[in-house]
């Protein structure tokens, strides 16, 4: 049996996590959404620290910028400067349209920057396209066993 694609969603808004999970559940592919609510948790999850000792290595990180404790840019920077994590695609998924947020994210190694749409049809379209592109169409490096 094929293992599900693991997505780590880092967002402090449970409504966005639920909605994203709901939209991904509709697609035919098998996704598993792991959600954490702040930047420190995200890093613990990725480094399998503490309660995340058995966490899977995600195939995709969906990262909000405005996060408590450790903000999105810091998380992004930690991922992209860690050889064990750097190749995981990171999609920034945020309400910010500020051009300096966009530039900074790409400079730090973000693979894609998406704005959270304000209405359901667009939200569905964006989340489905994101999952399809990064988890079906894109060729990604071989996953390391862990």
Q: Which residues would be at the binding site for other proteins (CB under 8 A)?
A: 13, 15, 19, 22, 95, 116, 118-121, 123
CB 99, min distance to other proteins, A: 11
d(CA 142, CA 27): 24
d(CA 47, CA 41): 10
> What tokens appear for 115 in the block?
């704005």
Residue with Cβ nearer other proteins (104 or 116): 116
CB 118, min distance to other proteins, A: 5
Residue with Cβ nearer other proteins (77 or 95): 95
Residue with Cβ nearer other proteins (119 or 142): 119
Residue 113's beta-bridge partner residues? 92
SS percent in the chain: helix, strand, coil, step 5: 40, 15, 40
Residue with Cβ nearer other proteins (14 or 50): 14
d(CA 20, CA 9): 9
CB 101, min distance to other proteins, A: 14
CB 14, min distance to other proteins, A: 10
d(CA 36, CA 101): 22
H helices present in the chain, as ranges: 14-26, 39-46, 72-80, 99-107, 120-132
């Amino acid at each position: 049996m094929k293992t599900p694609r693991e997505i780590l969603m880092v967002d402090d808004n449970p409504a966005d996590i639920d909605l994203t999970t709901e939209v991904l559940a509709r697609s035919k592919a098998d996704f598993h959404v792991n959600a954490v609510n702040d930047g420190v948790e995200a890093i613990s999850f990725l480094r399998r620290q503490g309660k995340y000792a058995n966490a899977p290595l995600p195939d995709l990180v969906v990262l909000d910028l405005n996060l408590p404790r450790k903000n999105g840019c810091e998380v992004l920077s930690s991922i992209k400067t860690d050889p064990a994590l750097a190749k995981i695609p990171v999609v920034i998924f945020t309400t910010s349209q500020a051009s300096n947020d966009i530039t900074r994210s790409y400079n730090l190694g973000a693979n894609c920057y998406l704005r959270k749409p304000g209405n359901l049809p667009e939200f569905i379209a964006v989340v489905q396209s994101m999952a399809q592109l990064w988890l079906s169409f894109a060729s990604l490096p071989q996953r390391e066993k862990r």
